[in-house]
Structure 1
Amino acid sequence: MLLFFILGLLVHFVFFGSIFDIYFTSPLVHGMTPQFTPLPPPAKRLVLFVADGLRADTLYEFDENGNTRAPFIRNIIMHEGSWGISHTRVPTESRPGHVALIAGFYEDVSAVAKGWKENPVGFDSLVNESKYTWSWGSPDILTMFAKGVGGDHIYTYSYDAESEDFGAHDVTKLDTWVFDNVKEFFHAARNNQSLFSKVNEEKIVFFLHLLGIDTNGHAHRPTSREYKDNVKVVDDGIKEIVSMLEHFYGNDGKTAFIFTSDHGMTDWGFHGAGHPSETLTPFVSWGAGIKYPQKVSAQKFDDAFLKEWKLENWKRQDIHQADVAPLMASLIGVPFPLNSVGILPIDYLNNTDLFKAESMFTNAMQILEQFKVKYTHKNGYYYNFKIKYKLLSESKQLNILRKARSYIKQRKYDEAVSLCKELIHLALKGLSYYHTYDRFFLGINVVLGFVGWTSYASLLIIKSHSITRGVSKEVKKPSHLLPCSFIAISVLVAFFLLIQDCPWTYYVYCLLPMPIWYAVLREFQVIQDFVLSLLTFPPSQLVGYLFVFTLGIEVLVLSFFYRYMLTAGLIAFACWPFITQLWTRAKSISLSWIFFSLLLAVFPLMPVVGRKPDIFLVMGAGLLVLLLSLCVVTSLIRRKDRFINEELLLHLFQMLSIVLSMCVVYTTHDSLLKKQGLPLFNQIISWITLASSFVLPLLSPTSLFERLFSILLSSMSAYLLLSTGYEALFPLVLSCLMFVWIQVEQETLQQLSVSYKQKVTSLQFTYNPDITQFRQIYLDDVRRAFFLVFFLVTAFFGTGNIASVNSFDLASVYCFLTVFSPFMMGALMMWKILIPFVLVMCAFEAVQLTTQLSSKSLFLMVLIISDIMALHFFFLVKDYGSWLDIGTSISQYVIVMSMTIVLVFLNGLAHLLTTKKLELCGKPKSHLI
């Protein structure tokens, strides 16, 4: 059993890792020749302002009094420069946004393993290509463009990470710090000859990263007064910096300015997904080389934003976020970033048609260089089977370049620009073609492994139990031909991979299905007997079973797309007693099952957590738990057991923990509203409560009811601290349904005339009947396994906590910390997600005990259902369409695979929480039943 689970864990790690090797590989290549425009640039220096987390509508719209929030920026739009919207891609996070802006490519997806913090691979950027770059702002952003870059031409000035405190009284200091330090820098430059000469060089960049708006958005929401007032602070600061720079450089007209944002933010104060409030960011540019405002009578955009912003008469020019990098490189005359996939927005340029054509030609050459290197790299793997992208052959490349150069010489600049854009689009498609070339080949091997593993797990159940009539226990020995055939095929596959010079991971994906399928086919006799036994079933009954099972799997899969499918499933669960004998045998239990199933069905219909925080709902959840605890304590007092005092004291202590959690949540919320920060006492109590929630259940008796109730109380004390609204009620309702589920399963087992020794109320988790007394498996046990998977998915998506990346609410962790710490905050949010999982898995332990079913068989059925779902999502993975569609399809597969792997650890954790007991002093006492 142990060996099987170790092997299963390794197999699932391979399947899980395959998605990263197939879809999460770095698209970057190296070894390209730098390309730059051979004409004098319009600007000597560039100033880049990035207002982190600023939404386009917040900047452009008018406030409730009809006044603009950013008068200086609006004046630029109407009198000095060009404007539009910069469209970002998912994930809308700070690192991917800044990489797109400054390096010109959309974030290397392998950075997900680094938490979007460090460079997983080296890449070129505008900062690296500049003569000198000075940057001010957050250490998380500035260092990633300086780390690993050769030379000493990049200078960064950042504040301490502890300054990023969501509970601080005034986080606009993060922006004013930048403005003040820039002023001090230029003041020092007047008295420092070396520095003065550097800031007067050509091809230099000043980068101001402004984090205050993002921090205010997380702390107070983008609809808050703090967020909107921060926009005014940024606008005033930019006005002062621009005035200072013009004075410093004597109004030489050689400074280009760009103001934009890395991403937006949802109304509930988060970002990461593809909502328009996250992907639509402002873009305003002015100064040297930038086109002046253009008055128009009509525009091509059909949205309502223009009239709302009162900008319908000023030409709006939207761009993609990666297009900003080539624009900035063109303005100051540095080589385009080598890894950039951005297309130069020439409509922003105020220059000659020759300069625009030459710049576009440079852009095309720079992207074509990546295509050539990618082609050479890929054919290094497949030198015996040359693969070519037929739409962009070498002859076609030369022909387009020759024509474009000819058009420029003939002064047919529009034709040259059009031809260069065509070449860029073909090269980008070619890059995608070579990057995704191996996906089908690797995908086939992973699917073979998936199907083989699921078949093998099914055979293990069939061999251990008689699911159907007539399953033979006698298995013939396989012939020597079968292993010899698999060895020969494995050698051929390995030789094929060797001559193609493939990476070592390809050997794993291609050879892993071999031993799995050998283990399946060597059980040919079992397969044959199982098929024959299925033929003894009435066809209508067999089709009915298959239909119900398939429908259940589809409901689970659809719940990942539509949360209300969980509601439909729970309503079906509520109707289940009526189609069985349960309603006639146990009406009170059936009514409880129906009530809590329908009550739990409400949660998937609720809006995603974080939209409308309500501390009073958290208080209400705590009061309900206390009320339930009082009922339990009252029943304990009425008992006359010798050792009841210890149990009673434990429950009273846990009730006190619930009360403290409620007080901490309320006082922390009140303190943050008053901008007084997180009280230290509250922080200490929160961490102590969280730590004690792991230990207190182990002090309770191991009797089924008492131990499960103790786990609920400890979990709720921690969950309340991590809640901001209605989700605080979710674990309580889920636990009530789990308690009823345990009783329901024992009642249904009686219908099958299976004997059992004890009632639910008297069972002990340490009760371990002899393995020979485990009963045979029934088709109803498949339904039990399905129930578990459904409850796990409900725990996953019931409150929308991970329905999408941007549904996380940082306010959930404010009782523990307010200073920005992504890994600590992520760990706390992960524990919040795991608490409902733990409650379900502990109930599952009780179900196995009450139904006297082998945990091995029931657990295998759960793994089979999960693997079928994972295979389903593997087929739904997309490598086309929008980035949001691609990212969502991949994340769904990763979530299901994670659930399969984590299930093993959760089962162990639940076993620990339910069966182990700590003694404070003395030797263990024997509790009376």
Structure 2
Amino acid sequence: MKVWQLILFGVLVHLVLFYSIFDIYFTSPLVHGMTPVSPPTRKPAKRLVLFVTDGLRADKFFELDEDGKTRAPYLRDVIEHRGVWGISHTRVPTESRPGHVALIAGFYEDVSAVAKGWKENPVEFDSVFNESRHTWSWGSPDILPMFAKGASGDHVSTSCYPADLEDFAGSDMTRLDTWVFDQVEEFLKSASLNESLSAELKRDKIVFFLHLLGIDTHGHSNKPHSKEYLNNIKLVDKGISKMVSTFRDFYQDDGETAFVMTADHGMTDWGSHGAGHAQETLTPFVAWGAGVRSPVKSANCGVYTDSFCADWKLEDVQRSDMEQADVATLMSHLVGIPFPVNSVGRLPVDILNASRGEKAEALLANAEQILAQFQVKMDQIKDRTIAATFRPFQELIEAEKLQSLKHIRKLIHGGQYEDAVSETHLLIDKALQGLRYYQTYDRVFLGISVVFGFLGWVCYVLYLVVLEHTAVGQASARITAGHSEGHTRLLLFGSMALIICILLAVQSLHMMCYVYCLMPVLLWYKACQGLRLLQYTVRWTLANRQLGRFVLSVVVSAAGLEIIVLSFYYRQLLSVGLLAMSLWPIIQSRGQGRVMGRPWIAVGWSLTCTLVGMFPLMPVVGRETRYALVTSSGLLAVFIGALILYRVSFSRHFKILCGFQLMLIAVSVLTVKLTSESIADRQGLPWFCQLCSWLVLGCCLPVALFSPTCLRDRLLSLSAALLAPYILLSITYEGMFILSLLALLYFWLQMEHTESLVARRQVFQNVDFKQDGLIKDDISSATFSRHLELSDLRRAFYFIFLILTAFFGTGNIASINSFDPASVYCFLTVFNPFLMGALMMLKNMIPFLLVTCAFRGVQVLTHTPLRSLFLIVLIMSDFMGLHFFFLVRDYGSWLEIGSSISHYVIVMVMIIFLLLLTGVSHVLTCWRVPLPTQRHKML
């Protein structure tokens, strides 16, 4: 198989393995075909007003300020005298879209659905807005449209402010909230003069949604402890107070309006959200008005063992907590509309202003709505499963479900309301467990298929390595050249594939199931070509007494990979690994440095390993900004580059090219300085800084392609080219990290070159190998065909370790909680999730590219076939990928679930990137754009 074919085949295999966890662990919970269930009791309210304060932390809202006063006096008065309060517990990912879906639709979106779209519905789901007679909403263009376009009919009206108003560098982001309050006030004023609109507003089943984004934007820009964030809470409280008065005036204080205030997610101290920290998952909840009970007061009734409210001074007011999805069922009940058919929320009956009988009836209707989902899901699984193999959910078979419903109704009719509520909660628990059971029904056999796919791929790659790049493989190929088992193997695996297709077709499984089940058949068909090679290799190893050395190498490599796996959980282990790597010159022959006459290389390697090892011990990037470090690292890079150009002999054209690249780095430093100062002064992003940033990004890599393809010149030019955009995307010590990493990569090249020369001089004692390969070796024409050595195993391991060091050196990106918009302020400040995400991805890829290009240089200097090194890297990476596949979790805390997903995703994306970056690094190191004078000479 040719190199490009192997890369393409490997990318396809790993894309399937990457996507598999979303089909196995995180399939969509949505089912369709249920009949909506309405609350059987009276409608407590004719209308509901929902305030969602985006990014509001529970502690910042409930706590008292330094003067012992509340930041939200109006809502504090509501809590103490008119309504209920508590904490709404969110789930990961704590982002705006999934949070609003949970609040308004009552279910938790699966990971794949969130990835399919942001502003619009990627999947069809029901919501409170959809079930209402009419919903009017005001706020962000990133949130409102997805509920309007997902609704049936045209009864969801939206009013969005312009997208460019969401400017993270804006002078005062409270204008996002004041815009909403002003628009609602103008709307109700105009309605009082419009008879038809006024009549529509005074009907029942009406919902008003006010999305307030100012707090979230201030949290990202200024952090939750800033005066801007805290003052925005005060502004929102005043705005809500004004809105309540406005609604009551319009409706002449008829007492039929319910109010709910909550948040979609919280925010960490360093201004991010997305993971499962308590600061992100604890959001405030306040409800008052029609259908909501008055406060329950007694001594210590608000004290909870979680200590979240210890300093909120609300111990004498009962706290009512709920899951975020419960808010949707509450809103549905208050306005008397059917529960969203996809909701998994549980009606919080303890906060309702209703009789015990009405509470029991309402909760039973909630249970019937969830049971309808359970029934549809069970029927779907049963219809497509072979009858003899169907395994029903034993705790809620049909007879038991009917018996439970009958028993609960009997309790209600007998006036045993408390018992009825308890029994209904148990029934809801069973229904939710049953939904989960059928949602994960196919997990075992799909998981086994994916594991066999992993093992088949690893065995196939191992077969290629041994066959094509070892002496034993080539000897075996000559010996077994006359043997052929192709027809038998094809018949066996072809029959297996046919049987699998028949079984899958009978069960009407989706197309990806065919891919997961047939891919292992293909991979093992390819891997089984090496059965005879395996037998010959074992005999050869035993005959040459190499078994012990081989086993020791495998064990050491596996132990090293386990350390890398653990570093995903304990980032500091990277420092331990780098410290161990610094001992490499000591472990090697003590006389190596003296033989080559270059002991400074060993010293430089040890020092740079120690230097880079300091960064995993530092705080994660994103928690604070230190632009002085960014500018210092940029100026240091310019100084080092100028010193290299002055001290080292280069061609005139290359010096001019590098001078231009150093100018780009200087421009980047100046841009960062001016941008940070402007934003600090609340002046926003200067247009000329934005223009310079995009120009630097656009021309940095193309300029590097004009440099010569000799190893030293090209790698130096690439380093300068990638430094400029990296500095533009830095906010603290990342620039120092990338300079330290470049120094380490330089000494890695020198160490490998030195070690390779020593090894060859020991074999070819009369041959004078050149020591200036780093200067003269041309990457574009480098082709080698030697056999693999045990030292190549070390080179592959170092490559993987340095890739992950580049990835985790400045932050634990295994947590999806690492994004800080400050990193892209030089390019844009107006909220654009996809462009901002692309720039952050570029920032993460730059260290990847530098390490990959250095690895290409190691391959050239050590005369190792790139294909063989690359195949070893693939085997090691897939070993880690299989490890994390078993560690993926969909239970436990939401932080653990989110981390397990991101660990697997990072490893699989890394493997796919390595496949793709091999091609990218080939372009960056081997392609060259001839200069005009060179074109003239060629002609």
Normalising by structure 1, we get a TM-score of 0.97
Correspondence for 1:555 among 558, 563, 566? 563
Match of 1:630 in 2: 642
Alignment-mate amino acid for residue 847 of structure 1: V
Deviation of 1:801 (Å) = 5.9
Deviation of 1:258 (Å) = 0.5
Distance 1:769 1:290 in 2: 76
Where does the alignment leave 5 or more consecutive residues of structure 1 unmatched?
A: none
Q: Which moved more, 1:593-602 or 1:32-41?
A: 32-41
Q: Is the 8 A contact 1:792 1:837 kept in 2?
A: yes
Match of 1:463 in 2: 467
Distance 2:552 2:338 in 1: 66
Alignment-mate amino acid for residue 848 of structure 2: F
Alignment-mate amino acid for residue 492 of structure 2: S
**CA deviation vs aligned residue, 1:375-413 (integer Å, no higher than 9, x gap):** 011112204332311110001100110000000000100
Q: Does 1:408 align with 2:412?
A: yes
Relative distance call for 1:114 and 1:583 in structure 2 (3 A) is farther
Match of 1:575 in 2: 583
Alignment-mate amino acid for residue 32 of structure 1: M
Distance 1:294 1:767 in 2: 78
| Percentage of pairs with the same residue | 50
SS at structure 1 position matched to 2:285 = strand
Match of 1:452 in 2: 456
Match of 2:64 in 1: 62
Relative distance call for 1:543 and 1:69 in structure 2 (3 A) is same
Q: Does 1:655 align with 2:667?
A: no
Alignment-mate amino acid for residue 775 of structure 2: S
Distance 1:365 1:790 in 2: 54
Relative distance call for 1:375 and 1:716 in structure 2 (3 A) is same
Match of 2:553 in 1: 545
Q: Does 1:387 align with 2:391?
A: yes
Distance 2:852 2:127 in 1: 48
Correspondence for 1:712 among 701, 714, 719? 719
Q: Is the 8 A contact 1:470 1:533 kept in 2?
A: no
Deviation of 1:785 (Å) = 0.6
SS at structure 2 position matched to 1:806 = coil
Correspondence for 2:613 among 597, 601, 614? 601
Match of 1:418 in 2: 422
Alignment-mate amino acid for residue 647 of structure 1: F
Distance 1:107 1:923 in 2: 58
Runs of 4+ in 1 over 4 A off after TM superposition: 467-471, 754-758, 924-927
Q: Is the 8 A contact 2:622 2:731 kept in 1?
A: yes
SS at structure 1 position matched to 2:143 = helix
Correspondence for 2:900 among 871, 874, 889? 889
Distance 1:12 1:379 in 2: 32
Correspondence for 1:489 among 496, 499, 504? 496
Q: Is the 8 A contact 1:94 1:262 kept in 2?
A: yes
Relative distance call for 1:801 and 1:680 in structure 2 (3 A) is farther
Deviation of 1:542 (Å) = 4.2
Distance 2:904 2:110 in 1: 19
Q: Is the 8 A contact 1:135 1:142 kept in 2?
A: yes
SS at structure 2 position matched to 1:46 = strand
Match of 2:708 in 1: 701
Distance 1:457 1:59 in 2: 56
Distance 1:699 1:9 in 2: 30
Deviation of 1:471 (Å) = 5.8
Distance 2:798 2:472 in 1: 21
Q: Is the 8 A contact 1:722 1:813 kept in 2?
A: yes
Q: Does 1:565 align with 2:568?
A: no
Match of 1:438 in 2: 442
Q: Does 1:358 align with 2:338?
A: no
Distance 2:26 2:407 in 1: 37
**CA deviation vs aligned residue, 1:711-756 (integer Å, no higher than 9, x gap):** 1112111111100001121111111101110111112223432675
Q: Is the 8 A contact 2:57 2:267 kept in 1?
A: yes
Deviation of 1:64 (Å) = 2.2
Distance 1:766 1:255 in 2: 74
**CA deviation vs aligned residue, 1:814-833 (integer Å, no higher than 9, x gap):** 01100001111011111000
Correspondence for 2:624 among 602, 612, 617? 612
Distance 1:566 1:185 in 2: 58
Distance 2:708 2:318 in 1: 73
SS at structure 1 position matched to 2:582 = helix
Distance 1:910 1:827 in 2: 20
Deviation of 1:559 (Å) = 1.3
Q: Does 1:731 align with 2:738?
A: yes
Q: Does 1:266 align with 2:268?
A: yes
After TM superposition, the structure 1 = structure 2 runs for residues 734-773 of structure 1, keeping only pairs within 5 Å, are 734-753=741-760, 756-757=769-770, 759-766=772-779, 768-769=781-782, 771=784
Q: Which moved more, 1:431-440 or 1:537-546?
A: 537-546
Q: Does 1:822 align with 2:833?
A: yes
Deviation of 1:770 (Å) = 5.3
Correspondence for 1:142 among 141, 144, 147? 144
Distance 2:722 2:298 in 1: 61
Distance 2:637 2:180 in 1: 48
Deviation of 1:811 (Å) = 0.1
SS at structure 2 position matched to 1:30 = coil
Match of 1:721 in 2: 728
Match of 1:673 in 2: 680
Deviation of 1:582 (Å) = 5.9
Aligned alpha-carbon RMSD (Å): 1.8
**CA deviation vs aligned residue, 1:573-609 (integer Å, no higher than 9, x gap):** 0122211116642531111111010111111111111
Alignment-mate amino acid for residue 301 of structure 1: Y
Correspondence for 2:233 among 222, 231, 234? 231
After TM superposition, the structure 1 = structure 2 runs for residues 286-435 of structure 1, keeping only pairs within 5 Å, are 286-299=288-301, 301-384=304-387, 385-435=389-439
Relative distance call for 1:290 and 1:916 in structure 2 (3 A) is same
Deviation of 1:159 (Å) = 0.8
Q: Which moved more, 1:240-249 or 1:458-467?
A: 458-467
Alignment-mate amino acid for residue 469 of structure 2: H
Q: Is the 8 A contact 1:28 1:108 kept in 2?
A: no
Relative distance call for 1:819 and 1:801 in structure 2 (3 A) is farther
Where does the alignment leave 5 or more consecutive residues of structure 2 unmatched?
A: none
Distance 2:121 2:15 in 1: 25
**CA deviation vs aligned residue, 1:666-689 (integer Å, no higher than 9, x gap):** 111111111111000100011111
Match of 2:158 in 1: 156
Distance 2:414 2:307 in 1: 43
Distance 1:204 1:416 in 2: 31
Distance 2:797 2:465 in 1: 16
Q: Is the 8 A contact 2:783 2:865 kept in 1?
A: no
Deviation of 1:121 (Å) = 1.0
Match of 2:251 in 1: 249
Match of 2:210 in 1: 208
Distance 1:307 1:525 in 2: 70
Q: Is the 8 A contact 1:471 1:526 kept in 2?
A: no
Match of 2:127 in 1: 125
Q: Is the 8 A contact 2:814 2:899 kept in 1?
A: no
Deviation of 1:282 (Å) = 0.5
Deviation of 1:849 (Å) = 0.4
Alignment-mate amino acid for residue 243 of structure 2: I
Deviation of 1:660 (Å) = 1.3
Distance 1:440 1:515 in 2: 21
Distance 2:591 2:332 in 1: 74
Normalising by structure 2, we get a TM-score of 0.96
Q: Is the 8 A contact 2:138 2:158 kept in 1?
A: yes
**CA deviation vs aligned residue, 1:298-318 (integer Å, no higher than 9, x gap):** 245123333311111111111
Deviation of 1:767 (Å) = 5.5
Q: Is the 8 A contact 2:223 2:270 kept in 1?
A: yes
Match of 1:103 in 2: 105
Match of 1:526 in 2: 533
Q: Does 1:588 align with 2:591?
A: no
Relative distance call for 1:846 and 1:463 in structure 2 (3 A) is same
Relative distance call for 1:718 and 1:583 in structure 2 (3 A) is farther
Relative distance call for 1:582 and 1:478 in structure 2 (3 A) is farther
Distance 1:654 1:519 in 2: 48
Relative distance call for 1:36 and 1:467 in structure 2 (3 A) is farther
Deviation of 1:4 (Å) = 2.4
SS at structure 1 position matched to 2:705 = helix
